[in-house]
Structure 1
Amino acid sequence: MQAQQTLRSARSVTTIDLILLAAIVALALVTRLWFWQVQARSGAVPPGDPEEYYRAAIHMLHGGYHDTGKWLRPPVYPAFLALLLPPTRMNVAGALLLQACVLGIGTLVFYASGTQLFGRVTGMVTTLLAALFVPLASYASSLYAEALFVTLLVIGLALIDRALVRNSTRAACGAGVLLALAALTRAVGLYLIPLAAVWIAWRMRHGGSLSIGMGLSDTRLRRVARSKDHGAHIHPSSDVGEGAWKDTGKDASQSEQHIMSDKSDRLEIRSYQLAISLILGALLVVGPWAARNYLAHGRVILSDTNGGISMWYGTVRDDAEEKAGEARLAAVPNLADRQSLAIQMAWENIRHDPARFLARMRFKIASLYALQTRSYAVGDVISIDSRGAPLVQNAGEYRLSMTLLADVQYVALIILAIGGVCFMPHPARAIPTLLWVGLATLLAVLTIGHPRLRLPIVASVLPFAAYALVRLPAGWRHIRQLPRDRRSYMALSGVMVFLALIVSMRYIPWGAGMWYAVPGRSALEAGDLRQAETLLALAHDAHPDNPLRVIDLADLRLAQGDDRAALSLYRRAAEMERRSLYAQAMRAITGAYLAMPDEAAAGLAAIDDYWRSGNDLLEWAWTTRRRPAPDRVVPGDPMALGLYAGFAPATPDLAVGRWTLGEGRVRVRGGCGALAVQLRGPSGRRVDISIDDWGIRKRMIMNGEQQEVRLALSGIRECEFGPELTVHIVSETGLLDLERAPWYTGVAVYEVRVER
């Protein structure tokens, strides 16, 4: 009885715990809201995965699902997004703000996971690590499923441990439900369910629950038995060389305290009952989705149809093969058959050249575990400008200082996690997490080695990193005994393998260039152009193959007023890295400065070919373009990039102009005549047009046809000098076209001009 009371006391949460936990959750909210403010305020929907999730959510709100895309996406994240959009009046930025708040509070799952494995103190530290980990915070406010997937995965793994420790079929069923929800968020989690079931069945058949026989010595078991007889509170301890670091606190004792609370009749549970409960829980979630897919597509689709196509992409040998293969896949209307064909094409490539496939596996693993700083080292930064500001929403890319911080966190967490797994009291409790890490790595090897899969890998091992961090002082006190402990060599081997994956010779020339580039950029921002020219030239000479060093020189020439030289350098940087949105955007803006419409069109076309000129790019260009505005602006015209914002991407119904997202802005050079705005909107929609803070405004009711609104400018002070004016166009929004353009738009703006 006394032992049971002690166990309940160890598990109870004190007032101080609640205060600390609330403070950590508040910190998590602050970090996520900061990232939202930096990367998600534009309300743009990036192309690729985010657009597919968004389209699926919009279809859900209209009673269907997006079944006509390149592949079928799993439904949980679109359903989550569909819940967030209506309260914000279908505003994507508002929905992402709510998402950041929900997932910020969702860091509590890390407390549950750490507490389940190691106790309250480790649970608290795990939550703190999750609150501060940069990639996890940034993905919380992006249109990607990773942050939600991590939340479901972590609590699912914690419930697996709880099921094994307590022989609980309820926990096993709950784990199955949560892992299935994770699998219907990101399909990579689907294969973890049978792996976890096999592990549970094997563990129960050969070793019983995890609270019995999990690395406990006979001496410890006898001590536990005596504690039950005499009601004593056990403080297990051992030297580093014998079992675990000495631990008289609640963290290390909790696992053995479970032994005192488990009743002997639980040991009679049949070996496979927990595994069956987990599978049944998963079927409760996956079953209805699979049945729906069978009715819609005539095939069994358990999660999505993306895996086979990703596997084929991982075997493609050149651009011509990729283009031909995509055309071949697009000709197959059934999404399941399309995936089957992709798998067949992938195996054909593997059989044709197995050596090449095996050789590329190494690069895929390196891509999965590589540092994010490597993008700066090789110059393939896509969405960050030379000032460190994001051009578009692209979670996972940050300014250099934030990238370095994220990499320091990543390396430290992985090293700590390796130590935590090797030195934890009962290493078998780490098996479900290690199964996930191995599975994720294998799937990356078989597909494209996408670095976004690294986030759920790192997040899943946070409890072990936290445990190592908590036990670090005790380990330091016993540091002399570590060489005699074979687990030290296991941990060292794991760390060496990890370091081998992230080390690259590319950092050497990059570091040499950055030695001059950092002070050179500082001099450029301070206006010291002579010093900047000297340093940036040295940086380029040290690392001439890096397009970022060419961009530095282009920015310098632009600051010096040599637009033609700047354009030539931006074009050269874009040739070196065609995906550089900054090089392409500055090519378009500089082409507009030089009145070269072909150059501006080429830059914008390159952006639309790889990405999309959505409102995130428009908002960035609005703050970047510095030259005087013209008398006439046509939204969507490449020459007008930086002169309009708050607009949707190009839509097939408009050859000229663009639709606003409800609050559009256009910048023009003023005068003393009249402002004319040509626009169109659904019949009955009200639109308010105003000019800065001059009190000039007009409301119109749209009639479904193209209309022109005119506002007198004579009331503007010093209008004869042509001051720059910002025209605000505000209206209600509605769905434009569910299939072709699923954006919630206001009115179409064809032209804004000033008549003198």
Structure 2
Amino acid sequence: MTGFAALLERRLGARWIVPSLFVLAIGLRLAVVVAFPQTPSSDGEWYLVRAAEMARGMGYREAGHSTAFWPVGYPALLAASLWLCGPSLAGPIALNLIAAAAILALVLRCARLVGADETGARLAGLLYAIYPAHIVYTGVATSEATSTAVTMAAFVLLVGERRRSIALVAAGLLFGVATLMRAQMLMFPAGLLIAMTIVWRDWRWRDAAKAAVIVHLAMAAVVLPWTVRNYRALGAVVPVSTNGGVSLYYGANPHATGGWYAWERTPEWDRVVGIPYGDRVARQVELDRRFKAAAKAWIVAHPAAWLALGPTKIALLWAKDGDAFWGLDGSYPDAGRLLTLVRVADQLFYMTILALALAAVALALRARWRGRDAPMLLMGAMPAFATLTAFGFTGQTRYHYPAMPFAIVAAGWMLAMLVRRGSQAPDPHHIVDGGAGQTA
């Protein structure tokens, strides 16, 4: 091993490194929040208004009507923070800081679960701590940070304790909470369980089926009460939210670009569904059905056009990493040059993470092809899920947020391998035979 690699391993192996990573991660986020407070806008403003009403005991409503347009989980969590901290951004920012600390801890845990050594795990932790986009997200009241933390906790329980029924129940409960924050998470556990049968030789379909039953029953225990509430409040079976139709239509219509485009207040809205925009809350269930029907009809009539949009959606999902800076753009319109420099730095950092992660996944694929276990491949489960979701709906930059901590784990492992490459090749078993709770 080269002198630099040996020195790096000694320094990263010190006891003070992990606490320092948490100090660094929280310190950077606090510094940005204090130095550049952001004015709530768009989704964040909507969440805060709903949360303030919930904190006052008004329930989950909009414009005087019960709503389920967006999942209730994050507004409910915001409401609790407002109730505890008062009507300010202190509570929402505290939630984001707690989520950041949790994600950092889970990045370290994920790295160890999938076979990274301590150097790789701590490098991954460092990459997450200094990730510019996720630092900036701390100042906005959006669901990305908290929902990602909950999803990662469920992931760690399911993967790391996959043979313990009580852990599977806990994972299912957490996946249920994540679903009430991001409705698409309802589908993620099934895909993850399938991936687990691929990466481990001793994890059979029977094991996956048993785990699936336990996890999904626990998820149902969390989600079904909200479904019952929706039935009583809206008069229809709405498992989580009523925005699925609108989201599907964004990516399946004659004017679709593959991403978001402004059309809500245009004549197209009325033409497609025949419901005035002003009635969208009161008639949200009907609106959801009509948009779903319009989108499905267009897909059936133009399957080639819809499929052709897929690569564009995927490119829009992964090409850039700048959505975190929208709030800063609006709050500091005169800071264009500074924000441009930060955006460039973030984009370079982001592309480096993706390149390292792709290399790690490629090596893990090679290991699995040669008949060895390759749990590092599980770090691709969330990126793959985000990609498939974008293909079906739309590709928007912020939708890759929950995939990035997993990509960072793979990048940390790959970076550690590259550091050692000078004189001593890494043990290929670093990417195989990893994971707590494994018997092999």
Smaller-chain TM-score range?
0.7 to 0.9
Q: Distance in 1 between matches of 2:273 and 2:36?
A: 31
Closer, same or farther: CA 208–136 of 1 in aligned 2, 3 Å: same
- Using a 3 Å threshold, how does the CA distance of structure 1 residues 430 and 59 change in structure 2: closer, same or farther? farther
The amino acid across from 1:123 in the alignment is: A
Structure-to-structure mapping, 1:624-663, within 5 angstroms: none
Find the partner of 2:244 among 292, 304, 307: 307
Whether 1:325 aligns to 2:272 is yes
Please give the alpha-carbon distance, in whole angstroms, between the structure 1 residues aligned to 2:213 and 2:243. 28
- The 3 A distance-change label for structure 1 pair 437 and 463 is same
Are residues 1:26 and 2:10 paired? no
Q: Take 1:447 and 1:304, find their aligned partners in 2: how far apart are those partners? A: 15
- Give the paired residue count: 391
Q: Deviations over 1:73-125 (max 9, x none)?
A: 21221122112213432113x22442343234222222222222234443322
Residue number in structure 2 paired with 1:451: 397
In structure 2, relative to structure 1, the CA distance for the partners of 1:476 and 1:181 (3 Å cut) is: farther
Greater relative CO, 1 or 2 (CA 8 Å, sep 6+)? 2
Aligned to 2:86: 89
Contact 1:112–1:155 (CA<8 Å) still a contact in 2? Answer: no
Distance (Å, rounded) in 2 between the aligned partners of 1:28 and 1:271: 36
Question: Contact 1:150–1:460 at 8 Å: present in 2 too?
Answer: no
CA contact (8 A) 2:169 2:215 kept: yes
Deviations 1:601-622 (A, max 9, x none): xxxxxxxxxxxxxxxxxxxxxx
TM-score, L = length of structure 1: 0.47
Q: CA offset at residue 422 of structure 1?
A: 2.7
Are the equivalent residues in 2 in contact too, given 1:316–1:322 (CA < 8 A)? Answer: no
1:524 maps to: none
Q: What amino acid is aligned across from residue 435 of structure 1 in structure 2?
A: A
Task: Provide the residue aligned with 2:188 in structure 1.
Answer: 192
Question: Would you say 1:473 and 2:386 are equivalent positions?
Answer: no
Evaluate the alpha carbon distance shift between residue 37 and residue 209 of structure 1 in structure 2; reply closer, same or farther with a 3 A threshold.
Answer: same
Aligned counterparts, 1:93-112, within 5 A: 94-106=90-102, 107-112=104-109
In structure 2, what residue type is equivalent to 1:414?
A: L
Aligned to 2:61: 66
Residue 234 of structure 2: aligned partner: 297
In structure 1, the residue matched to 2:303 is 354
Q: Report the CA distance between 1:181 and its aligned residue.
A: 1.8
2:258 aligned partner: none
CA distance, structure 2, for counterparts of residue 20 and residue 374 of structure 1: 31
Distance 1:375 1:184 in 2: 23
Which has more helix, going by share of residues? Answer: 2
What are the within-5 Å matches in structure 2 for residues 471-510 of structure 1?
471-477=417-423
Match of 1:363 among 312, 320, 323: 312
Instruction: Report what 1:562 is aligned to.
Output: none
Name the CA shift for 1:373/1:60 in 2 (closer, same or farther; >3 Å): closer
Structure 2 residue corresponding to 1:46, chosen from 22, 33, 41: 41
**Other-structure match for 2:225:** 288
Question: Which residue number corresponds to residue 351 of structure 2?
Answer: 411
CA distance in 2, matches of 1:180, 1:328: 32
Aligned-residue offset at 1:138: 1.5
Kept after mapping to 1: 8 A contact 2:360/2:413: yes
Q: Is the 8 A contact 1:170 1:277 kept in 2?
A: no
Give the aligned partner of residue 561 of structure 1. none
Query: Shift of residue 69 of structure 1?
Result: 7.7
Query: Which whole-Å deviations, capped at 9, do the CAs of 1:457-491 have from their partners, x for residues lacking one?
Result: 22222211111112223334368xx9xxxx9xxxx
Q: Given that residues 154 and 172 in structure 2 are in contact (C-alpha distance below 8 angstroms), is that contact kept between their aligned partners in structure 1? A: yes
How far did residue 39 of structure 1 move? 4.2
Post-superposition CA distance 1:328-379 (Å, at most 9, x none): 3755744333222111111222234333323322221111111247999xxx
CA contact (8 A) 1:53 1:73 kept: no
Task: Provide the rounded CA distance (Å) in 1 between the counterparts of 2:79 and 2:243.
Answer: 21
SS at the partner of 1:85? helix
1: CA distance, partners of 2:19 / 2:51: 32
CA separation of 1:374 and 1:461: change in aligned 2, threshold 3 A: closer
Q: Which runs of 5+ in 2 are unaligned?
A: 1-12, 256-262, 432-440
CA distance in 1, matches of 2:314, 2:195: 25
Match of 2:77 among 77, 80, 85: 80
Question: Greater shift after overlay, 185-194 or 322-331?
Answer: 322-331
> Conserved in 2, the CA contact under 8 Å of 1:55 and 1:66?
no
Cα distance change, pair 98–384 in 1 and its aligned pair in 2 (3 A): closer
**Percent identity (aligned):** 21
Is the aligned partner of 1:136 residue 2:134?
Answer: yes
How has the CA–CA distance of structure 1 residues 198 and 26 changed in structure 2, closer, same or farther, with 3 Å as cutoff? same
Deviation at 1:456, TM superposition (A): 1.4
1:315 offset after TM fit, Å? 2.7
1:252-267 paired onto structure 2 within 5 Å: none
The one-letter amino acid paired with 1:366 is: A
Match of 2:213 in 1: 276
- The amino acid across from 1:402 in the alignment is V
Q: Distance in 1 between matches of 2:112 and 2:146?
A: 20
Structure 2 CA distance for partners of 1:476 and 1:289, relative to 1, 3 Å: farther
The structure with the largest strand share of the pair is 1
Q: Find the residue that maps to 1:399 and give its secondary structure.
A: helix
Which letter does structure 2 place at the counterpart of 1:279? H
CA deviation map 1:432-451 (0-9, x unaligned)? 44333222112212222111
